[in-house]
Amino acid sequence: MGEIVHPDFGAARRVTLAREGSFTVGRLMVHPPIRQIALEKKQQTVEPRVMQVLVVLARALGEVVSKDELIQCCWDGRIVGEDAINRVISRLRHIAEDIGGGSFHVDTIRGVGYRLVEGEPNPTTAPGNRNKWTEPRSAMSRRSLLLGSAIGAVAAVAGAAAWLWPRKPHKPAPLALQYYQQGLNTRGQNSQELAERGVAMFREATRIDPEYAEAWGALAWSYRELAENGARPDPNSLRALARSAAARALELDPDNADAQAALLLLRPYYRNWRSIESGCRRLLAQHPGHSDLEYCLAENLANVGRCREAADYFGAVAKHERFWPLPHVYWSHALISSGRFEEAEDVLDEGAKRFPQHADYWMTKARFLAAAGRPQEALRFAANPANLPAALSMHLPEVQAEIALNRALAEKSEASRGAAVRIFTDMARQYPNRTGFVALALCSLNELDLVFSMFDGYFFGEGPWAAGRSNRLVTWRLFGANGKALRRDRRFGVLLNRTGLEDYWQETDTVPDYRRFPQAEYRLPVG
């Protein structure tokens, strides 16, 4: 099957209902050409303008759509009053209540615009009590707002067909099954080489058996993993390939878990925490025990400071997938951030025995010992060549930096402290993509002016560290065990507001662990 080419869903793209593909919002099936919304046996035909606005909001995948964008897409740029837009939004809210079955609600973001969110509204975010976003969407994020009308059309039509004519289980060709199973063995290894091998295996499986939905879904997920984690110059083309493979999987099997997960998680975690959390939970209810979904939900929870909940999910994945190295690493990270040092050490030691050459265990062990108030032991561990995995011989600057950090924490001298700061700042200048990592390390040395400056560059592309702006922003660093002084600084609240984390906590009525369990913070020593 050829790759599906998606149009650029930019702000200026006018909605022509006759050309829009069907799609889903929660459990609702939406058919723009006939202006029909359906939930099981309920159907409702809506006004053209209402359908146009629904299409534009759905394209945005939970992000804010400005009033100007709505006017450009749905009113051809003509001057319209606030009342006209408000009437359409009000009509959408009535539809959500009358036929939506809790599938979606529409938030008003004061002074900015509107967003469509799947699921029931939270009482703290009822209309008139919205939190204002601090930053508008960038042009790049607008271009990446891909609902994928073609994919929605395939899924919607396939879903209706599956209801009328139940699909017979497909028996894959033996050789295709063999390639598929070999591809599954490459999952969860945090290796670009193995991830690329997995893509090759799944592609061969689909070439041999084009009707093999599971192989298409696994291929979609593997493309998504490469786009998310691989050091590749072409992440957008990989995302397009993931959408194409997911569309084929859902055409063959509308309930395919890997395809649905891939489409959900093509979005970055950053600022999409709420929609990704609800999407993961919804898919896990349909596909309990799906390890990749559990792992991604755990990552999402860690990114919003809910480390105790994240630890439970990372632990579940580590127990299900005994030969995936990263769940053990991040399980220990979440436990450390929760102040549960004894459990974290047991998890680290077990993982290191199983994966003795995995570099992340060496780094995490060194950081753990320092965070647990054992800097002398951390220095002995880091400086002992016998503990160093062979893979880290390719990353000597990071090793030397870690040794310098632990020496500064152990010796507590100005000379060793200054040397560590110089090494880490030089690393950030030479490798801008490591700015977030460096800022996390410098938290241990209480270099807070430098840390906040680096985070300004990492998150917002501002200031002297602007080159460190990342395409894959993670916020779990803000809640690490060595960040107690960071969280006590008055500037931390400003950072939380600018990243949108405060909005997330208010909208979801949740509290990060460092506020919910302040007693754990007292156990986290600062070097």
CA distance 405 to 382: 10
**The Cα angle at residue 454 between residues 462 and 483, in degrees rounded to 5:** 135
In 3D, which of 456, 430, 452 has the Cα closest to residue 443? 452
The pLDDT of residue 372 is 86
The pLDDT of residue 524 is 46
HSE on the CB side for 292, CA within 13 Å? Answer: 22
Amino acid at 339: G
Cβ atoms 259, 246 nearer than 8 A: yes
In 3D, which of 268, 272, 212, 262 has the Cα closest to residue 242? 262
The pLDDT of residue 19 is 72
Q: What does the block give as tokens for 150? A: 């073609």
Provide block-wise average pLDDT over 10 residues at a time, the chain (527 residues): 33 69 77 82 84 88 84 82 87 82 82 82 46 34 38 46 58 95 89 88 96 96 86 78 94 94 94 95 94 96 97 95 90 92 92 87 89 91 88 74 93 95 95 90 94 96 92 90 90 97 95 86 47
Q: What is the DSSP letter of 385?
A: G
Q: What is the DSSP string of 452-520?
A: HHHHHHHHH--GGGGGG--SS---GGGGSGGGHHHHHSTHHHHHHHHHTHHHHHHHHT---HHHH-HHH
**65 phi-psi bin (left φ>0, alpha ψ -120 to 50, beta other):** beta
Cβ atoms 436, 470 nearer than 8 A: yes
Cβ atoms 53, 70 nearer than 8 A: yes
Amino acid at 283: L
Reported for 166-171, long-range contacts at CB under 8 A and 24+ positions apart, including other chains, are 167/253, 170/211, 170/212, 170/213, 170/252, 170/253
Which residues neighbour 156 within 8 Å (Cβ) at sequence distance 6 or greater?
Answer: 21, 22, 23, 24, 29, 30, 31
Cβ atoms 374, 350 nearer than 8 A: no
CA distance 484 to 499: 19
Q: What does the block give as tokens for 405? A: 């950090």
Could you write out the three-class secondary structure of 343-397? Answer: HHHHHHHHHHHHCCCCHHHHHHHHHHHHHCCCHHHHHHHHHCHHHCCHHHHHHHH
HSE on the CB side for 492, CA within 13 Å? Answer: 15
CA distance 44 to 314: 42
Q: End-to-end CA distance of the chain, in Å?
A: 57
Residue with tokens 């290796």: 191
Residue with tokens 């938290």: 443
Q: Return the bridge partners of 30, or none.
A: 23, 37
Residue with tokens 């090494």: 423
Domain 294-521 indexed as CATH 1.10.10: no
The pLDDT of residue 166 is 52
* 3-state SS, residue 114: strand
Cβ atoms 297, 289 nearer than 8 A: no
| Alpha helix positions (H), 144-212 | 149-164, 174-184, 192-208
CATH topology of domain 17-143: Arc Repressor Mutant, subunit A (1.10.10)
* 3-state SS, residue 288: coil
CA distance 293 to 4: 25
The pLDDT of residue 124 is 46
How is the chain split into domains, by residue range?
Answer: 17-143, 149-293, 294-521
Q: What does the block give as tokens for 187? A: 């999952």
Amino acid at 246: A
Q: What does the block give as tokens for 297? A: 């939900």
Domains 149-293 and 294-521 alike in fold = yes
Cβ atoms 106, 116 nearer than 8 A: yes
Q: What is the DSSP letter of 388?
A: -
CA distance 117 to 248: 26
CATH topology of domain 149-293: 1.25.40
